[in-house]
Amino acid sequence: NMKYRRLGDSELTVSAIQKGVAFLGRIPFDPIFTKAMVQGRNIFEYDPGSEACRAVGQIWEKIKNKIIS
């Protein structure tokens, strides 16, 4: 039986740096992912004001900025 523990942002950042990748952020668990999927919608259509949607949007902006610059 495997046990898991949640890593904090600082641990994730260190782990990412050690692997040579950027830590872009954390997407919180949110049942809107499943609810949106069941309705055939994405989270931006289903609940654009949700915490998870904001987190995905912030990560996307970071990716977009890396691509553009």
pLDDT, tens digit, 9 for 90 and up, residues 2-60: 566 677 777 878 888 888 888 888 888 899 999 999 999 999 999 999 999 999 999 99
DSSP string over 30-57: -THHHHHHHTT--HHHH-TTSHHHHHHH
The predicted pLDDT at position 43 comes to 94
Amino acid at 47: D
Please determine, for residue 1, whether its predicted confidence score (pLDDT) is greater than 60. Answer: no
